[in-house]
Amino acid sequence: GENVEQHPSTLSVQEGDSAVIKCTYSDSASNYFPWYKQELGKRPQLIIDIRSNVGEKKDQRIAVTLNKTAKHFSLHITETQPEDSAVYFCAANGGAGSYQLTFGKGTKLSVIP
């Protein structure tokens, strides 16, 4: 089955700086890669996703890049704000047409004012 590794497990940045979280996956057939943000005590929220037919996707201050050859994808947050503090999870599906997701272990991001 799919295996997703996520790094780092914790990340602290100063407000206004950029944050980058990286994930690798094992199944070359995976074609859907979402990112979720989970604030303390709340549900995971889908913040951005990317399909394997594109290399980069942006939505305001967040962007995701995908390198299919290397089987890794990254989340980039620019101009970080205190409200970006949360746990972020990457995930990958189980191949073309599969809706099933395997999640990484999460990155706890702290933005220091």
Partner 1 sequence: EAEVAQSPRYKITEKSQAVAFWCDPISGHATLYWYRQILGQGPELLVQFQDESVVDDSQLPKDRFSAERLKGVDSTLKIQPAELGDSAMYLCASSGAYEQYFGPGTRLTVT
Q: Counting beta carbons within 10 angstroms of the beta carbon of residue 102, is it exposed (0 to 12), middle (13 to 18) or buried (19 or more)?
A: middle
Residues 3-62 binding partner 1 (CB under 8 A) are: 6, 32, 34, 36, 42-46, 49, 51
> Counting contacts by CB under 8 A, is residue 74 touching partner 1?
no
Amino acid identity of residue 4, one-letter, is V
Place of tokens 């101009």: 79
C-beta of residue 90 within 8 angstroms of C-beta of residue 109: no
Min CB(104)–partner 1 separation in Å: 6
Q: Which is nearer to partner 1, 12 or 18 (CB)?
A: 12
- Give the total of residues touching partner 1 (CB under 8 A): 22
How does strand 32-38 pair with strand 56-59?
A: unpaired
- Judged by the rule CB under 8 A, the positions of this chain that interact with partner 1 are 6, 32, 34, 36, 42-46, 49, 51, 89, 91, 93, 99-106
